[in-house]
Structure 1
Amino acid sequence: MEKVYVTFDPRSKLCTILFASLLLMFPIPFQAEILFVTLMYILFILNGSLKKGTIFYGIFWLLVLGDHLMFPFIDHSIVAFFDFLFVGNRRMLPTIMAAAFAMNRTKISEWIAALKKCHVPFGLIIPLTVLFRFFPILLQDFRSIRNAMKYRGIAISTVDLFIHPLQTMEYIIVPILMSAENTSLDLSSAALVRGLANPKAHTSVYEIRFNVQDYILIGSLILCGIVGRLM
């Protein structure tokens, strides 16, 4: 049975990323931070990613617990360092959650169509298109290299990669760097061949428009901002 989930317009997801970035740049009350992270957890559930949302939400509360346990002993330098890591990662987590939510169940073609509808210059759309498609291919190349290494009995475990850094550089970093240039050139050529640089109006098979859930999402973000300012 196919899972039923709520879809959101890429532009409303982009608003979520921008709002999370503002939360990272400006100090906000802890209650407002909890409110936004809870909202992101609900969005993950609605978007059909309960497991991913639960992992992020659990990490957030583990970071909160770590900060709560270490704060009374903040006078010690080592404890202060680890408490700084807990707080810093907790502050960055909402932005990571927003980015993961934005990329979840949203195809690259939908992002391109949304950026075009926002009248983003083609000089920016083409690099972003190449960037969006570059990292999945890079990850696929890394997996292929790791499978080949394991098949040959080289660095079978992840720990071996750190124990033998020179070997890791020889068998992983060097091949990836060699293929990265060719991959970027191929993706740039493919983007130009498909007419992304054509200044005329483009058509898309994806219907990009705001629905009820998108207005509710943007309204919830505005409400979170207002509540954060009042706290």
Structure 2
Amino acid sequence: MSRDASVQKSFGLQFDPRAKIIILILCVISATIASSLLYESLLVLAIALFGCASGKVRRSLFCAAFYGAFYMLTLFVMSLEKGAFYTVFTSWLGLFYAVYPCAFLASVILSTTRVNEFLTAMNKAHIPNHVVIPLAVMLRYIPSVREDWAYIKDAMRLRDVTPSFLGFLRNPAMTVECLYVPLLMTASNAADELSAAAVTRGIENPKPRTSLLQIRFRGRDWIAVVLAACVLILGFCWGRIV
């Protein structure tokens, strides 16, 4: 067993990538049918528990705390008299509460799923390559762009350019030149390099893949999927219960 695999197994439970995809689909449906902020909060709490079980405790607690702060802000704004600010905030409110749980869960899944695990699981599920290959490249593409983003911010600080919204307002031309232009160039180059690397490693090979990893549904996967389905069923019945 490699060192990375042993480190990954020592922190948190390892869920099957197929179970993660099923949970993500159920989460999208749950966020879509959410009829109250209380149910949305329950959904975010369930995602936070899943993230903690997966080993992403700090990320899960931070995202849950951010949602809690935004929830309190929402209650405060809803108590105000209707006006221009109220109208603008409530129109943006629905989009935030529909997207945030899905983005929260997707960040946990992306940070806990390796490309080789994903490819092995998709091959076992008999998913076509023209669906698997773009998703596999995406899994490797996001960490690569994030790493380039950190390098660009360090280079900006050397030129006394602040990579923040206030820095953009203070000097928008320099911020665009030092941040967005290099980021777009590195993102384009990273996409080409990752695609070439995937083809070189035989990702288009139609024969079944061999893997040293044991990718299979375990009891924890079934429990997580059943709990996600229960949250979805609760969303359908929420109006009758509350």
TM-score of the pair, normalised by structure 2: 0.84
> Can you list the C-alpha shifts for 1:82-123, whole angstroms capped at 9, x where unaligned?
244345323322111211221232212212222222222111
Q: How far is 1:217 from its partner?
A: 0.6
Relative to structure 1, the CA distance from residue 148 to residue 205 in structure 2 (aligned partners, 3 Å threshold; closer, same or farther) is same
Matches within 5 A, 1:79-90: 79-90=86-97
The partner residue of 1:202 within 205, 209, 227 is: 209
The partner residue of 2:49 within 25, 29, 42 is: 42
> Can you list the C-alpha shifts for 1:5-46, whole angstroms capped at 9, x where unaligned?
222111111112111211233343444323322211211221
Alignment partners' CA distance in 2, 1:212 and 1:88: 35
> Structure 1 stretches of 5 or more lacking a match?
none
Residue in 1 aligned with 2:161? 155
Residue in 2 aligned with 1:91? 98
Alignment partners' CA distance in 2, 1:71 and 1:147: 40
Q: How far is 1:4 from its partner?
A: 4.0
Letter of the structure 1 residue corresponding to residue 236 of structure 2: R
Residue in 2 aligned with 1:18? 25
> Structure 2 stretches of 5 or more lacking a match?
1-6
Matches within 5 A, 1:44-193: 44-151=51-158, 153-156=159-162, 158=164, 159-193=166-200
Q: How far is 1:200 from its partner?
A: 0.9
Relative to structure 1, the CA distance from residue 149 to residue 58 in structure 2 (aligned partners, 3 Å threshold; closer, same or farther) is closer
The partner residue of 1:32 within 20, 30, 39 is: 39
Aligned residues: 229
Alignment partners' CA distance in 1, 2:20 and 2:215: 12
Q: How far is 1:129 from its partner?
A: 2.1
> Can you list the C-alpha shifts for 1:30-70, whole angstroms capped at 9, x where unaligned?
44323322211211221222221111222222222222222
Letter of the structure 2 residue corresponding to residue 131 of structure 1: M
Q: How far is 1:169 from its partner?
A: 2.4
Range with bigger deviation, 117-126 or 73-82: 73-82
| Partner SS for 1:210 | coil
| Partner SS for 1:73 | coil
Alignment partners' CA distance in 1, 2:108 and 2:68: 19
Residue in 2 aligned with 1:216? 223
Relative to structure 1, the CA distance from residue 176 to residue 45 in structure 2 (aligned partners, 3 Å threshold; closer, same or farther) is closer
CA contact (8 A) 1:44 1:101 kept: yes
TM-score of the pair, normalised by structure 1: 0.88
Residue in 2 aligned with 1:229? 236
Range with bigger deviation, 172-181 or 51-60: 172-181
